[in-house]
């Protein structure tokens, strides 16, 4: 039950980093700030559970609420707001060479270019990655509609239909909702 808050006096920050560890991160709050490039949770070569946390990355130019590198964490029952910025990237969850289990989470992020609920690279969808029972709330201030996910090779955006070849990353196991403004998003919540 800790609260991690970004420091506006820095240009680049990670609120919590775990490395080579088995962890249980439960019931915490992670808040980015409006000036620094922010990673909420960075897990490198780790395993364990990330449960019932709140991630709010706000509107800095580059945010990643959760970044997994070579990790096999179970993410469940979290609210993950990847933030938004017109010129930068904002990801709710970014993972590389990882095999996460992602269930029962709420992802909130902008629906504009370079922003995604999930961005994965170096990992092809397979039966070791589970993505199910998540709610993806996507809002767009410029009325652009982009898919909720980015391809696991990091090259391009995937449509929900293109994910259907993998049961584990199928949009059928999740709910994706797009809105046209933050007021609509608040009404959904």
- Mean pLDDT, rounded, for 153-158: 45
CA-CA distance, 53 to 71, in Å (whole number)?
A: 18
- What is the average pLDDT across 92-101? 87
Is 61:86 a contact under the CB 8 Å cutoff? no
Q: Of 66 and 11, which is predicted with more confidence?
A: 66
Report the mean per-residue pLDDT for the chain: 77
Q: Is residue 32 scored above 50 in pLDDT?
A: yes
Distances (CA, A) of 33 to 12, 63, 138, 182: 10, 10, 21, 18
CA atoms within 13 A on the CB side of 70: 7
Residue 23 CB-density burial (10 A; 0-12 exposed, 13-18 middle, 19+ buried): middle
Question: How high is the pLDDT of residue 70?
Answer: 93
- Which token pair is 102? 């992602």
Q: Which one is predicted more confidently, 80 or 160? A: 80
Scanning the chain, the segments in alpha helix (DSSP H) are 182-188
Q: Which of 42, 36, 92, 86 is nearest to 64 (CA)?
A: 92
pLDDT tens figures, 40-49? 999 999 999 9
Q: Cα torsion for 34, 40, 42, 43, to the nearest 10°?
A: -170
Across the range 147-155, mean pLDDT stands at 51
């Amino acid at each position: 039950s800790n609260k991690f808050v970004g420091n506006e006096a820095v240009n680049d920050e990670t609120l919590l980093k775990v490395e080579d560890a088995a962890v249980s991160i439960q019931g915490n709050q992670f808040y980015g700030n409006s000036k620094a490039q922010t990673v909420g949770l960075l897990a490198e070569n780790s395993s364990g559970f990330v449960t019932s946390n709140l991630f709010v990355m706000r509107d800095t130019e580059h945010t990643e609420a959760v970044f997994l590198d070579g990790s096999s964490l179970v993410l469940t029952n979290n609210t993950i707001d990847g933030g938004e910025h017109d010129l930068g990237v904002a990801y709710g969850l970014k993972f590389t060479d990882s095999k996460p289990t992602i269930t029962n989470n709420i992802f909130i992020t902008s629906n504009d270019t370079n922003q995604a609920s999930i961005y994965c690279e170096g990992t092809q969808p397979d039966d070791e990655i589970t993505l199910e029972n998540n709610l993806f709330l996507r809002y767009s201030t410029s009325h652009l509609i982009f898919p909720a996910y980015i391809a696991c090779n990091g090259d391009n955006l995937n449509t929900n239909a293109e994910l259907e070849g993998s049961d584990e990353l199928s949009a059928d196991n999740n709910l994706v909702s797009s809105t046209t403004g933050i007021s609509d998003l608040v009404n959904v919540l």
